[in-house]
Structure 1
């Protein structure tokens, strides 16, 4: 079995196991999702400061990208550490962070649309940024729904989807693996 095939099979199994975890412990999963979203927000903030801000020479664009990046890093760090630091009050912290993250994502999407507008004015392609803004709004809506019982149902449904997709991906990778055939001997007869 080649290394990419083995990696794909392991990835499929990990996705399926994560789905089982979401299904078995949805409340603990929410805490983990917040920490992962926090890490993503920190990475996004650094990316905005390092890569997005220099895309345009417009002062408003650079300021908006800088502010968005700094706020993203701060919110991300809060999301990563608050559920861990206040473990005894984790339920309250998780609920507050879900709402805070939802609000952040909506404001982030608004800033993203502004950045897209400024990039469009400068004739710089910005479709990926518009897509990111739409995804931010969708995630924000989901985060606002998670604290209710409906949110636990969404987590469980997502867990089932992950189990099916992960197992399917592992099976697909296994069935379509690359075979390496090594000959016993090679002759150079003419």
Structure 2
């Protein structure tokens, strides 16, 4: 084709004006024929391969999206289950705390009751011991005061009060008078 243009230019048939941009008819026909052959090869061979590859990718993407949706649904279910279990665990912990508080209060009350009973028992034992010691002291004091009173009375009267019955009467009378004067003062 270049040769034909060069030959045509050499003969003096050189295109002029707008005709310079319009190709010769045989070039248009051969170019159109080549374009139709390339288009047919592309349409029959290349386009189905591209379509198949794009369909496979679309299927992979759709499968990935479906898997992602399934995974997201499973994750949401797991989150809800975790939240439910956490709420149950918190409620159980609250129940355990309340039970422990109640049990602690019961134990404290039992210990207070036991301590109160122990204190009452100790106080009662102490009272009994004090009363017993008071009676022993009173008896010892009576015996001592009695012997002192008998000796004093023997010295005053000038005769011995050796008779135990008489001695006992004198001592009892003296102690009764002593107690009555002590009670009157208070």
Q: Which structure is larger by alpha-carbon Rg, 1 or 2? A: 2
When the two structures are superposed, what TM-score results if normalisation uses the length of structure 2? 0.20
